[in-house]
């Protein structure tokens, strides 16, 4: 897909951005970019957010799906500089900016049971109180974090044990802890932005990658891989935020509007995910009957789980005291929903 250059994007958005400045109390156009297509989970969330804002105010929200304004790193830069008012960037790409956000890549930290997982996202102090402070330091108002679905691996050959990943060039999001996780499992981790993944699989530059079921189906990852392996090691987390100066400049009423829109979209997206993983895997099987889909047993998962200790130690080393506080709080929050 052809990407716009940064200066083209700035030119495109600058005119509209100027109209925003003096009109905070009047009808404004707010821009919201995300990392997926309109019909994928982030797009469904963004659509719900937009609907709520537009039904309850004179403001409009223009949505920019993946590919319209660049890669994940580009839209984050645009949100930080105030060209965009809202952005959805997954912690998988936020590691350099906010190292603590990498906590979501400690394998087997999040519950595999959806009810517990959703309750954790709803009630977690780490997510709802501590992370907003860390995002604020980067000029971002963290509005919501939410899960997108169980992450599974796609490879050319079956993966039943970590040794099966030996020498496999495995694409990960651009996140140092994910590199550690796949290295701990014996793979050769290859960080890449999303836009390069299909082509890299097609040409054999990489042989594997991981993503939730709905994304494996909608992006047709199954066309360029032969085996899907689910080992319960993670659920894809994403984060929606606003430019902090923009948010702080809103009236109390507008802040409530934005917060209520976030709550409405959050509730909707959790319900939307009921059965989505199973449906997506079934659709893949239908589209490509010889695709092997392996759900590893508890016994088979054990060696993958054991490597998690090493990854947690790497997280501690990368993030020091601040990371420890987040991880400890997350563990306490998880214990509370268990
Ligand atoms: O793997 C990725 O890079 C992408 N995966 C998902 C599920 N959403 C956006 C992200 O860019």
Q: What is the pLDDT of residues 177-230, one digit of tens each?
A: 999 999 999 999 999 999 999 999 999 999 999 999 999 999 999 999 999 999
List the structure tokens of 60: 């409009």
Residues with a CB atom less than 6 Å from ligand 1: 35-36, 72, 90, 148, 173, 194, 211-212, 215, 236
Residue 89 contacts residue 72 (beta carbons within 8 Å) = yes
- Rounded to whole angstroms, the Cα distance separating 139 from 146 reads 20
- Rounded to whole angstroms, the Cα distance separating 21 from 114 reads 42
For range 124-153, the mean pLDDT: 98
Residue 5 scores a pLDDT above 50: yes
Q: Evaluate if pTM is beyond 0.85.
A: yes
- Rounded to whole angstroms, the Cα distance separating 105 from 179 reads 10
pLDDT at 159: 98
pLDDT per residue as tens digits for the range 226-279: 999 999 999 999 999 999 999 999 999 999 999 999 999 999 999 999 999 999
Alpha carbon of 194 to ligand 1 centroid (Å) = 6
Alpha carbon of 35 to ligand 1 centroid (Å) = 7
- Choose the residue to mutate in 33, 36, 148 for probing ligand 1, maximizing ligand atoms within 8 Å of C-beta: 36
- In ligand 1, the atom with minimum distance to the C-alpha of 209 is 1
When the pLDDT of each residue in the chain is averaged and rounded to a whole number, the result is: 94
- Rounded to whole angstroms, the Cα distance separating 286 from 276 reads 15
- Rounded to whole angstroms, the Cα distance separating 244 from 132 reads 11
pLDDT per residue as tens digits for the range 10-65: 565 555 544 444 444 689 999 999 999 999 999 999 999 999 999 999 999 999 99
Residue 284 contacts residue 217 (beta carbons within 8 Å) = yes
The closest residue, in CA terms, to atom 4 on ligand 1 is 194
How many helices and strands (H and E) does the chain possess? 15, 10
Residue 2 scores a pLDDT above 50: no
Angle 126-127-133 from CA coordinates, rounded to 5°: 80
CB crowding 297-329: b at 16 or more within 10 Å, else e:
eeeebeebeebbeebbebbeeebeeebeebbeb
Maximum separation of any 2 CA atoms in the chain, in Å: 61
Percent of the chain with pLDDT over 70: 93
pLDDT at 26: 87
- Choose the residue to mutate in 34, 39, 87, 92 for probing ligand 1, maximizing ligand atoms within 8 Å of C-beta: 92
Alpha carbon of 245 to ligand 1 centroid (Å) = 27
pLDDT at 9: 59
């Amino acid at each position: 897909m052809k990407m716009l250059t940064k200066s083209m994007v700035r030119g495109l958005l600058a005119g509209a951005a100027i109209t925003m400045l003096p009109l905070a109390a009047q009808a404004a156009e707010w821009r919201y970019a995300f990392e997926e297509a309109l019909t994928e989970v982030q797009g469904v969330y963004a659509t719900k957010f937009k609907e709520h804002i537009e039904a309850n105010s004179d403001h409009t929200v223009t949505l920019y799906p993946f590919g319209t304004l660049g890669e994940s790193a580009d839209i984050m830069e645009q949100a930080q500089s105030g060209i965009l008012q809202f952005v959805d960037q997954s912690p998988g790409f936020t590691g350099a900016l906010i190292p603590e956000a990498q906590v979501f890549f400690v394998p087997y930290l999040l519950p595999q049971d959806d009810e517990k997982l959703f309750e954790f996202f709803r009630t977690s102090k780490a997510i709802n109180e501590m992370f907003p402070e860390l995002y604020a330091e980067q000029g971002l108002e963290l509005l919501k974090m939410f899960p997108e679905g169980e992450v599974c691996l796609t490879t050319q050959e079956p993966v039943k044990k970590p040794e099966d990943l030996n020498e496999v060039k495995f694409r990960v999001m651009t996140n140092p802890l994910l590199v550690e996780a796949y290295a701990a499992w014996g793979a050769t981790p290859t960080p890449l932005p999303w836009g390069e993944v299909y082509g890299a699989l097609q040409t054999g530059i990489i042989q594997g990658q991981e993503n939730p079921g709905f994304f494996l189906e909608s992006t047709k990852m199954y066309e360029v891989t032969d085996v899907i392996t689910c080992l319960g090691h993670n659920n894809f987390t994403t984060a929606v935020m606003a430019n902090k100066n923009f948010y702080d400049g809103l009236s109390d009423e507008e802040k409530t509007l934005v917060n209520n829109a976030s709550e409405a979209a959050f509730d909707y997206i959790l319900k939307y995910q009921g059965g989505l993983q199973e449906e997506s895997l079934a659709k893949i099987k239908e589209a490509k009957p010889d695709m092997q889909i392996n759900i590893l047993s508890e016994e088979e998962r054990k060696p993958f789980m054991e490597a998690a200790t090493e990854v947690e130690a790497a997280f501690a080393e990368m993030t020091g005291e601040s990371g420890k506080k987040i991880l400890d709080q997350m563990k306490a929050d998880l214990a509370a929903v268990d």
